[in-house]
Amino acid sequence: MGDLHIVVCVKIVPKPEEIRVDPEANLLLREGVRSEINPPDMNALEMALTLKDQFGARVDILSMGPPSFEPNLRVALAMGCDHIYLLSDRAFSGADTLATTYSLAKGIEKITG
């Protein structure tokens, strides 16, 4: 394996055809709704895997969410990713952009050593 190490950050999102919103709270209802890797993130994953094939890179996936997201991430393993990492803790619930970015950055630091 070469020296190139690619970490693709992906978000698990509800399947568009199943999106439902709580009208009172104006929040997405995820219960009973199937999820998938965000389509633009899937494009990034496919490009990373192309680079892996061309240059012998290591490709890892990093995401943040509940443990129930793990099966969605396993799709990346089936596609050829080397490792998947899921940051999961109740403390992350409702994290804003700054907290999410900070957590993912720290995850990348740990993964890439």
Under 8 Å between Cβ of 83 and 93:
no
Which tens digit of pLDDT belongs to each residue from 36-56? 999 999 999 999 999 999 999
Residue 29 included in any domain:
no
What local confidence, expressed as pLDDT, does residue 9 receive? 98
Structural domain total, the chain: 1
Amino acid at 109: E
**Residue 95 included in any domain:** yes
Domain-embedded: residue 59: yes
Task: For residue 91, give the DSSP letter.
Answer: G
On whether residue 26 sits in a domain, the answer given is: no
Q: What residues make up the domain containing 100?
A: 5-11+37-112
Q: Read off the pLDDT of residues 22-37 as tens digits, 9 standing for 90 and up.
A: 888 888 787 888 999 9
Tell me if 65 is assigned to some domain.
Answer: yes
Q: Which of 35, 27, 33 is nearest to 10 (CA)?
A: 35
User: Residue 2 has what pLDDT?
Assistant: 58
The answer to whether 7 and 111 have CB atoms below 8 angstroms apart is: yes
Write down the pLDDT at residue 84.
Answer: 98
